[in-house]
Structure 1
Amino acid sequence: MENNLENLTIGVFAKAAGVNVETIRFYQRKGLLPEPDKPYGSIRRYGAADVTRVRFVKSAQRLGFSLDEIAELLRLDDGTHCEEASSLAEHKLQDVREKMADLARMEAVLSDLVCACHSRQGNVSCPLITSLQGGASVTGSAVP
């Protein structure tokens, strides 16, 4: 199918791009993908450039870019705006690093709480539930 990506119906286009038809329509409503003209009495047709564009959007989404950020990247796609694209990527990288730090903190607290739950004895209240209710965590501080 890679060799013949011109004159595609929306269903074939969606399959070639690895998405469903509703994703194509959604991207069109969001302005990420142009809607081709519909010849009178016929159906819209898509081509290789459309497939490439949808694959670009999906790749950017997998990297964590929002649809607004992707729209900006698409605006820069002529290859002459590398500095602007790099700036967007640097901001996304900082966001990812901040999320990773947040996740590491969450993992540490949850790990401590799970260990406390497994090591409790008798009819002592559950450390996890107590912590979530605003009590002290096993490390002595409130859960973030």
Structure 2
Amino acid sequence: MNLSMHITLESDYAVRIVYCLAKNSGRMDAKKISEKSCVTLRFALKILRKLVAGGIVKSFKGTQGGYELARSAADISLRDVIETVEGPYAISRCVCGEGEYECTHTHEDGACPFHSVYESISSDVREKLHNVTFDKMLKQKQ
């Protein structure tokens, strides 16, 4: 099966890292997070910096340092994690805005024929991602 639409590898890894921290429910060092989530240490550190900046993870320095969730697993959704790493989710650049992401599919009247459809789909996906929290993921059968 060939899938043409997917989240980025960085988002996938960020979700795995947050899941690992939620499952552990305590402070973990970066090396242990890297091992448990199957993400290289270097990439895990890059992602952890974004998650800390986004308020999803807290970092602690020193010998007893490490990382832990900044809020409960029930208060962190897949959308929170993905958008912290990637920015706001949109299925097409037509929905994103300006600059290099500005929509180029306009008709004579200036309207994009795809905008409302893509915005509706993007909104549905954002809502579904928002409704999946890490406490729910932990309760799923493995």
Query: TM-score normalized by structure 1?
Result: 0.30
> Which has the larger strand fraction?
2
Question: Higher relative contact order by CA 8 Å / sep ≥ 6: 1 or 2?
Answer: 2
